Amino acid sequence: MPTIQTVTILPKLPKPLTPLMSIARNLWWTWTPAAINLFQDMDRDLWDRCGHNPVFLLGTIEQPRLEELERNEIFLARMKEVHAELEHYLSFQTWYDRTFTLETKGIIAYFSAEFGLHESVPIYSGGLGLLAGDHMKSASDLGIPLIGVGLLYKHGYFQQYLNPDGWQLEKSPMNDFTNMPLAQERDEAGEPLMVAVNLPGREVKIRIWSLQVGRVPIYLLDTDVPFNSQHDRQITSHLYGGDLEVRLQQEIVLGIGGIRALDALKKMPTVCHINEGHSAFMAVERLLHLMENDKLNYDEALEAVRTTSVFTTHTPVPAGIDRFPPQMMSAYFESEANRLGLGIDGFMGLGRINPDDRSETFCMAVLALKMAAQTNGVSKLHGEVSRKMWASVWPRIPQDEVPISHITNGVHTLGWLSGEMSRLYDRYLGSGWIEEPTNHDIWKRIDHIPDFEIWRSRERLREQLISFARERLKKQLKDRNSPVHRLEEADEVLDPEVLTIGFARRFATYKRATLLFRDLERLTRILTNPDRPVQIIFAGKAHPQDQEGKELIHRIIQVARRPDLRKHIVFIENYDIEVARNLVQGVDVWLNTPRRPMEASGTSGMKVVANGGINLSVLDGWWCEGYTGDNGWAIGAGEDYDDHHLQDEIESNLLYELLENLVVPTFYQTGTNHIPGGWVEMMKNSIKTNCPVFNTNRMVEEYASQGYIPSFMMWQTLNKDNWQELKNMVAWKRHVHKVWNKVSITDLQVPFEGSPKVGDRLPIRVTIDLGSLKPEEVRVEAYIGRLDAEGKIPKGAPLPLFATDENKGKKYTFQGSMLCLSSGKIGFSIRCYPYKKGLTNMFDLGLLTWWETE
C-alpha cells in the first residue's frame, strides 16, 4: 500500500459571501431562525443531504449557485443582517457583566464526556450531552466566562437501524472533522498544538480542536494522531465504546489531558465544573499542577482544588457509576500517586467510600464528591435520592443534611422552539421572552393570545410532525428494500387531525417504554376509537449491549405492524437531535413513564412545553416540581413501590384511565368555535408555569450565583500573598483534625418545670469540653425533629446554641431556647462541629460530635 499524502481543500466563497463562513463556524446559528433559514434557502435539498451542516453545505454547493447568490441583493441583505446580528450578540453587555462587578472574570472550565449541540456535530449520546450543550448555549447568552472541555470522537455514538424483523442494529459512520465547524489549535510556530498523557509504558499524544458556541469555546481532545499506536488512536474513536479499560483511558484523556490542554492554551481555569464523574481525574491533575508549579503541599493543593470545584451528579443508581478495579488503577496511577505523596493505597482511598477497604473499587463519583466543595443533583427529588445514595461518605451526618444540594435542569428554549411558536410569542409577549426567559410576568402574557390563534399554531406544528414522520418512515422502508406498496402505505400512517402522543428517549428498562402495552386490547380501543382516535410516535435507542432494551424496541415494532394499529403507532429510527426537535415541537402530549425515583431529571418533557405540548408523566425527576394540577397530568401521586410488577400493574391502569377519562375527552371536547377550550387552557397553564422555570438560563444563573462566583471569590482570597490565607486555613484544619477527639458533650440540662405547651420556650443548656479549641471555632446546635417508629429523627432542623460567659477550664456552656410550635412527641439531640469563616459548607471537615449517653 503506497503512502497517501492528505490535503484539506477549503471552500472558495465569492468575496461578498465570505460572512457566511463566520456564521457557519459559530453554533450560534443553531438557535437563530434567520441564520437557519439563510443556509436552508441556499439549496434546500443539499441542506438536507448535508445533515443541516452549513460548513459542509458551503464546501459542497455548486459554484454557479454561489455566483447566483452573489448577485442576489435580497440574499446579500439577509446575510449582512444575520452577520450583524451575530456581531451584536457577541458584543452586547450580558447578564453576567451587569450582575457581577469583578476585577477579573477568571475562567470556569466545564468538563463533560459529551456535548449535544446539533445533529451536525454528532459527539453526543443522550440526555447528559444535550444538557451540556444547552448549558453552553445559555452560558453564552448570559456571558459566563465559561469554556467547555470534552472529547472529539471519530465515530461518535452509534447510528441505529432496524432489520426487517424489527431488531435494533448499529453502525458507526466516521465523522469528517474537516466538514465540521472545528478548528485545530496551533502553537506559535503554526504547528498543531499537542499535549500528552502517560499510560502504562507509553506516552499518548493528544490533539486539541476548538468549537465555538456563541461566546463560549469548547476544546475537544483527539488521540487519533500519527504519533500514537493504532490502539491508542482508537481511544477517542467511540463515545461510550470499548471495554472498561478503554473507558478508563478516555477518562484520563478527558480529565488529565483536559487540564493539560487548557494549560497549553494559557487558559488554566480558576473554577472547574465536573459534569458527571467521567471527568473527575481533572482534579488529580489540578492537584499536581498546584503542587509542582505553586509549591503547595498536598493538603494545601487539595484545599484549593476542593474550594474551586463544582460536581453535578446525574445518576440515581449506584450501577450507573464508573468503577475501576484496584489492579487496573494501580497500573495507571502509581506514578501520580507517588507524585502526590500518597502512595497507591492513599490514592485509591480518594475513590473509595471506605478508604481503608482495599477490596473496594475506585469510584469516579466518590472521587468527584471528595474533590468538590459543592455537589448537586439535577432535580429536587434527585437531590434527596443522591443524599441517600452517598450518605455513607459522611457517616456521622444526618442523611437530610448530607452536603448534596440540587439545581434542577432546564433546556435552552430558543434551541428547541419552533419558528411557529417563536413568531407567536414575538407578537404577543414582545421581545422580553428572549431577553428575560426567567421572567414570570412576561410568560403570563400567554393569556393574551387568542385561543383560536394558539390552537391553529398547534395544528400546523402537528401537521409538520406528521409530514416529517411519514418521510422518515419511507426512508426507513427504502433502506430495507421494502416493496413499493409498503412505501405507498407510509403516506397513510398517522393523521394530522388526531391527538398525537410522543415517547422518545433512551430505551433503558427503567423508563418502561412498553408500560402502555400491558393491556393491548384496552390500548387498541383507545387508539382506534372512530370518534376520538389517538396515535403514538416512538423513537429511541438501546445501548448495543442492552438486550432487554432492544427487546422493548422489538416489541413496539411488532405491535405497530398489527393491521389495526399500523396507522396509529410509528417508530422513527435513529433518534437524534433532529428527530427530537421535530417530536417536541409537534406532539400534543409527551408521555414519560419512568420507574420512580430513577429519572434523575429528564429534560425532554421541558422541551415540549414552550411548543404547546402537554406532559403526561409519572411524578419523577423534574415533573415533581413542574406539575401543578392544571398544567398537565400526573400518573399516580408520587408513590414508591418495592414490588415492580405491582407498580407496573397499578400505573398502567392509571395511565389508561387518564387517557380514557381526561386526556382524550379534553382534546376532542370542542365548543361552537371548534376549538377545545379546556385543552388550550391547560396548554397555556403549562407554558406560563413551566417556561420561566425549566430553562437553562435560570439553571446556569443558579450555577453562577451558588457555585462559580463564590468559588472564584474564594480562589482570589486564598491566592493572595503567596497563598497565605490558604495555608492558614489548612493549618487550622490540620490542628482541628488532630485535637477533635478531645471534644465531648459532657452535660445537657433542660431547666423547665412541668410539661411544655404549644407556645412555650424550652430552655436548653449544654456543657462541652472543647479541649484546646475556642468557642468561636465551633458551632453547637440542638438537632430537633419528630421521632419515627424507631425513635430516630429522620428529618430534623438545627437550633443554634450560643456560648455564655460561663466556663470551667476547657469546659464551656452553650444555651438557647426551643419554641414549641406544635403538640406531640418531639426529640432532640445536641451536636458540635468545627467552624471557621471561609469553610465551603458546614460539614467541610466531616467532623461532627453528638451527645451520647453511656
Q: What is the pLDDT of residues 654-670, one digit of tens each?
A: 999 999 999 999 999 99
Per-residue confidence at 317, pLDDT binned at 50, 70, 90?
Answer: confident
Beta strand spans in 369-457 (E): 374-377, 405-406
Handedness of CA 326, 332, 337, 343 (dihedral sign): positive
Closest-CA residue to 291 (of 341, 343, 366): 341
Closest-CA residue to 374 (of 10, 668, 108): 108
Write down the pLDDT at residue 215.
97
Q: Of residues 535 and 240, which shows the higher confidence score? A: 535
CB atoms within 10 A of CB 690: 26
CA distance 380 to 801: 30
Q: Count the residues in the chain.
A: 854
Write down the pLDDT at residue 794.
85
Give percent above pLDDT 70 in the chain. Answer: 98
Residue 732, all three cell numbers: 487550622
**419 touches 457 (CB < 8 A):** no
Supply the DSSP string of 733-764, one letter for each residue. Answer: HHHHHHHGGG-EEEEEE----S---TT-EEEE
- In this structure, the strands spanning 168-171 and 589-592 are unpaired
Write down the pLDDT at residue 1.
52
Per-residue confidence at 9, pLDDT binned at 50, 70, 90?
Answer: low
Write down the pLDDT at residue 806.
86
Per-residue confidence at 478, pLDDT binned at 50, 70, 90?
Answer: confident
Closest-CA residue to 56 (of 231, 176, 199, 229): 176
Residue 380, all three cell numbers: 429536587
CA atoms within 13 A on the CB side of 193: 20
**pLDDT(183) > 90:** yes
215: Cβ–Cβ under 8 A, 6 or more apart, which residues? 90, 94, 139, 140, 143
Residue 714, all three cell numbers: 474564594
CA distance 792 to 799: 17
Q: What is the pLDDT of residues 836-850, one digit of tens each?
A: 998 988 999 999 999
- In this structure, the strands spanning 202-213 and 216-222 are antiparallel
**pLDDT(104) > 60:** yes
Residue carrying C-alpha cell 439563510: 38
Write down the pLDDT at residue 48.
94
Write down the pLDDT at residue 544.
92
Section 528-546 average pLDDT? 96
In the chain, what are the helix, strand and coil shares in percent, each to the nearest 5?
Answer: 45, 20, 35
Write down the pLDDT at residue 792.
85
**pLDDT(435) > 80:** yes
- In this structure, the strands spanning 202-213 and 309-312 are unpaired
| CA 357-361-362 angle, 5° bins | 105
Angle between helices 298-307 and 364-371 (to 10 degrees): 90
733: Cβ–Cβ under 8 A, 6 or more apart, which residues? 299, 303, 834, 845
DSSP 193: P
Write down the pLDDT at residue 6.
57
Write down the pLDDT at residue 302.
97
Angle between helices 281-293 and 326-340 (to 10 degrees): 20
**pLDDT(467) > 60:** yes
Per-residue confidence at 396, pLDDT binned at 50, 70, 90?
Answer: confident
**pLDDT(482) > 90:** no
91-105, 202-216, 546-560, 714-728: the lowest-pLDDT one: 91-105
CA atoms within 13 A on the CB side of 657: 9
Write down the pLDDT at residue 480.
84
Q: What is the pLDDT of residues 590-632, one digit of tens each?
A: 999 999 999 999 999 999 999 999 999 999 999 999 999 999 9
Section 300-309 average pLDDT? 96
CA distance 786 to 86: 57
Write down the pLDDT at residue 753.
75
Mean pLDDT of the chain: 94
Write down the pLDDT at residue 405.
96
Q: Which value, in Å, is the radius of gyration of the alpha carbons in the chain? A: 29
- In this structure, the strands spanning 614-618 and 589-592 are parallel
Write down the pLDDT at residue 787.
85
**pLDDT(385) > 70:** yes
Write down the pLDDT at residue 825.
80
Section 224-234 average pLDDT? 96
183: Cβ–Cβ under 8 A, 6 or more apart, which residues? 25, 209, 210, 211
Q: What is the pLDDT of residues 597-606, one digit of tens each?
A: 999 999 999 9
- In this structure, the strands spanning 405-406 and 569-572 are unpaired
300: Cβ–Cβ under 8 A, 6 or more apart, which residues? 290, 723, 726, 727, 730
Write down the pLDDT at residue 101.
78
Q: What is the pLDDT of residues 411-422, one digit of tens each?
A: 999 999 999 999
**pLDDT(5) > 70:** no
Give percent above pLDDT 90 in the chain. Answer: 86
**pLDDT(103) > 80:** no
Write down the pLDDT at residue 4.
63
CA distance 256 to 245: 16
